[in-house]
Chains A and B, each alone.
Chain A
Amino acid sequence: MRKFSLLDHELIPKHEIMSEDELKAILKTYNIGKEQLPKIKIEDPVIQEIGAQAGEVVRITRNSQTAGQAFYYRHVIA
């Protein structure tokens, strides 16, 4: 069976690893530490797919019923 990229599936929103600077900016706007972000396990299929490491933060861009497009940030944990 041909393997396809999970990210191509219509139900999976865009996931991307955030750069150090972006992360800093986000943490500053919300005045929080990385631990206070929602978590996501490193074994999560999407995380495996994009190859994020524990301690990194991914930005998820979702289509939203109310806002059109919404951002969500999740802290990758082991």
Chain B
Amino acid sequence: MKDLPSIPKRIGAIKFGLLSPREVRKMSVTSIITADTYDDDGYPIDMGLMDLRLGVIDPGLKCKTCGSRAGECPGHFGHIELVAPVIHVGFNKTIRKTLRSICHNCSRLLLEAGKKDEFLARLDSSREMGHLPDDIVNEVFKEARKTKVCPYCSAEQKEIKFEKPTDYIEDGHKLTPTEIRDRFENIPDEDVKVLGMDPSSARPEWMVLTVLPVPPVTVRPSITLESGQRSEDDLTHKLVDIIRINQRFQENRDAGAPQLIIEDLWELLQYHVTTFFDNEVSGVPPARHRSGRPLKTLTQRLKGKEGRFRGSLSGKRVNFSARTVVSPEPNLSINEVGVPFEIARQMTIPEKVTSRNIELLRMYVERGSEVHPGANYVIRDDGRRIRVSEINKEELMEKIEIGWTVERQLMDGDIVLFNRQPSLHKMSIMAHRVKVLPYKTFRLNPAVCPPYNADFDGDEMNMHVLQTEESRAEASILMQVQENILSPRFGGPIIGGIHDHISGLFLLTRNENRITKNDALELLSKSDIRVLPEPASYSEDGEPLWNGKQIFSQILPKGLYLEFPSQVCFKCDTCKKKDCEYDAYVVIEDGEMIQGTIDEQAIGAFKGKILDKIVKEYGSDAGARFVDDFTRLAIRGVMKTGLSFGISDEDIPQTAKVQIGNLLNEAEGRVKKLIEAYEAKELEALPGRTLEETIEMKIMQELGKARDQTGNIAGRQLGLENSAVLMAKSGARGSMLNLTQMAACVGQQAVRGERIRRGYSGRTLPHFDKGDLGADAHGFVKSSYKSGLNPTEYFFHAIGGREGLVDTAVRTSQSGYLQRRLVNALQDLEVQYDGSVRETRGVVVQFKYGEDGIDSTKSDYSKPEAVHRIVRMVTGREVN
């Protein structure tokens, strides 16, 4: 292969400069002298703000400069000759600094020649290095300001005070823009260079405006209201003000008006020009519309979230999208999304008319836009869009011919993109197949909640309808939910059972459930199972009975071999594997579940070992089918047994309560002993800790231990027949800690990982003695949620709870910003076909993706067991 040119294109440099008056006049197509816009016939006035040479916005008119029509003409600048110079607000800072560093008499930079050369040399070298000159220039300003007597003309320098917004006061006398401009004009080019400016593209005097560029009309289009009245853009209003004052100024000066009036008018002109650039300068009352609304001028257009950069360039609004609340529907496939009928009727897919589909498309048009699978628009071969209405649908149906396009309504089976913000990873936008449903919410299978991080407490999601064949093909191959079951983050399934799915299958597969034929058929009714296996046993009346493991086996693919410990595993020192006495070791042979219990480790999101294996071995189709099947089976399973939780499930026997009480008292006693030892200075400090830290740690340890022990006592009273324990042990929801807090003891409340210490001097609350180090004085909550907290406990609990809330709020905002920076830095990197990671210029970032070139979703965790499995499957022999 021929050598490619190494780096294709590179921007050599970008240079910013100031617009000189000459440039403004050069780029201007006309001087604007009249404040009027349109004449009585509604035709733009020559040399007015809507002059036809500035570009056109009305259809039908032609631009006098370039001859193009509205939409083609980019617009052209005009200019206003200001009667007197005014300061440009945007340069106030630079003007102030420059004024203070030059001589008021000879305009030379207030530095010795040697110093200047030194700074110049430093600027040059920093430019060569590609550094910003800002720091050096600021040093120049600082140095020059210190000089009290001009080294060139020996004039004494006076302090220049800056007064908001645009006044410069020297020695009690206000400098007029003209004076400032004169001083700047006299600065020699060499001195300008020392100030970090390039005199050929940015002379300091250009910061004082003598001529104002007038933006093209295309930048400030007027809109015609329904009443036929014209409404001008805010910028146009501002320009009108400027021209009016400019004219009045001219007239007054020509008539020889008194100095006072001239000054007032000059200030007014300054005000209008200032607010034209920025209507939110501090110290300047914002210019308002007649209605009292502040005008949106140049700076306001660019700034902020809704400004040109963040609002129009970085982010845009899209068509063919819908948003509504989401709710669950376990009978849908994970690949589907339920779309409300009303949304489906408004969303369209363009379909080109061909000889093969013309009859079908005719049918859609015939139904019109009112009846569901209908059509909303028809596009003729010349590109005209015609809305399908009740009146014209028959006529349109007749007229349709090959080459036209029909925009038909969204139907079952169409592919759409579905998204929930914040879109933090690629699984936040996935492709689903449409299922049009009644009611007003998007419906999705709860198994796809984890990748979207969605729940149904009012979450809303967005849907985007794909408009081209290519995008639909790409979406269905790459973005469909089933193609994203495995997350590239950890190579395992991110989609999987949650809550009821886990409880349901846990209830179904544990123990030896006796399931009658009717129940078995009902459980499997929504899956594609046609034949039941040999029954496991028979009842006394000779009725066939199956067990839950058999039922679950029906949805497993043939030939699946798998062994793993489940979530309920007791983590014994030596795992007995197949001989596990707790039925916590799952064994699947040839798609037949031999033993074990299905729980979070088997089918849960982020964990699901079975799902992981099915996707990797049988492909995404089988994976999706398995998820669909087990969600339906689990829901029916949990409904068969029933699973509920109430306040009485937290009840523990009186004896246990007494035990817990005793245990906590003993712990308190031990804490008291520790404190006594500490106060008697008998306590030994731990290595690297102070005595205070040591006692805090020991108390925390003691109390933590006590809380765990109360949990164990409570846990002994509550077995797997308790639904909360069942949910916690199977991994469906909640934890044993949650249950401990509800039934036995809430435990220590902490702020920043320490016991609560803040509050009054020496104590947390007036209820305690000063210096009390005891458990209850520092936020140990003895009560359980069930028994209720006493007032001090309640208060400490609120402190700890508040910290949790603040933490989450801070964490999300910080990690969000971190993520944004990372994404911006990495977004253009791409894994090439040769496995290298490169950026857009072809510069290599990694020579092999992840250094090993492995796609984690395609790998089986690089474990030797994976090889053993393959050997076993192929040869039928065990290897080790």
Contact = CB atoms under 8 A, between A and B. Distances in A.
Interface of A: 29-38, 62, 64-67, 70-73
B7 A72 contact: no
Given A34-B6, A35-B7, A70 B1 contact: no
A64 B257 CA distance: 83
A29 B847 CA distance: 11
Binding site of B, secondary structure by majority: helix, strand, loop or mixed? loop
B848 A36 contact: no
Interface stretch (B21-29, B50-58, B536-544, B836-844): B836-844
A38 B852 CA distance: 18
A33 B3 contact: yes
Contact of A66 (B834, B842, B844, B851): B851
Contacts of B847: 30, 70-73
B639 interface: no
Given A38-B843, A66-B854, A70-B847, 18 more contacts: A30-B834, A31-B3, A31-B4, A32-B6, A33-B5, A33-B6, A35-B843, A36-B6, A36-B7, A36-B838, A37-B843, A38-B844, A62-B851, A64-B851, A64-B852, A66-B850, A70-B848, A73-B844
Contacts of B836: 30
Contacts of B850: 66-67
A69 to B, nearest CB: 9
A38 to B, nearest CB: 6
Contacts of B838: 36
B866 interface: no
Nearest to A31: B1
21 contacts: A30-B834, A31-B1, A31-B4, A32-B4, A32-B6, A33-B4, A33-B6, A36-B838, A36-B844, A37-B843, A37-B844, A38-B843, A38-B845, A66-B850, A66-B851, A66-B854, A67-B851, A67-B853, A70-B848, A70-B851, A73-B844
Interface string B811-849: 000000000000000000000001010100111110110
Chain A interface, DSSP helix/strand/loop, else mixed: mixed
A71 to B, nearest CB: 6
Contacts of B6: 32-36
B841 A36 contact: yes
A38 B843 CA distance: 7
Nearest to A67: B852
B1 A66 contact: no
Best-surrounded residue of A35, A65, A71 (most CB of chain B within 10 A): A35
Contacts of A36: 6-7, 838, 841-844
A32 B844 contact: yes
A56 B284 CA distance: 60
Contacts of B834: 29-30
Among B841, B847, B852, the one with the most A-chain Cβ atoms within 10 Å of its Cβ is: B847
A66 B852 CA distance: 6
A19 to B, nearest CB: 18
The 6 tightest CB contacts between A and B, nearest first, are: A33-B6, A67-B852, A70-B851, A66-B852, A35-B6, A64-B851
Nearest to A68: B852
Nearest to B836: A30
Contacts of A67: 848, 850-853
Interface in B581-637: none
A16 to B, nearest CB: 16
A46 B838 CA distance: 25
Nearest to B832: A30
Contacts of A31: 1, 3-4
A32 to B, nearest CB: 6
Nearest to A34: B6
Contacts of B843: 35-38
A41 B274 CA distance: 48
Q: Give the most central of A29, A32, A71: most B CB within 10 Å.
A: A32
B217 to A, nearest CB: 47
Nearest to A62: B851
B828 to A, nearest CB: 14
A22 to B, nearest CB: 14
Interface in B276-334: none
Contacts of A30: 834, 836, 844, 847
A72 B846 CA distance: 8
Interface in B61-112: none
A33 B684 CA distance: 67
Interface in B841-878: 841-845, 847-848, 850-854
Nearest to B843: A36
A37 B839 CA distance: 11
Nearest to A27: B3
Contacts of A38: 843-845
A62 B841 CA distance: 25
A72 to B, nearest CB: 6
User: Most chain-A CB neighbours within 10 Å: which of B6, B7, B851?
Assistant: B851
A68 B168 CA distance: 68
Contacts of A73: 844, 847
Nearest to A38: B844
Contacts of A29: 834
Interface in B94-135: none
A61 B841 CA distance: 25
Kindly name the residue among A36, A38, A64 whose own CB sees the greatest number of chain B CB atoms within 10 A: A36
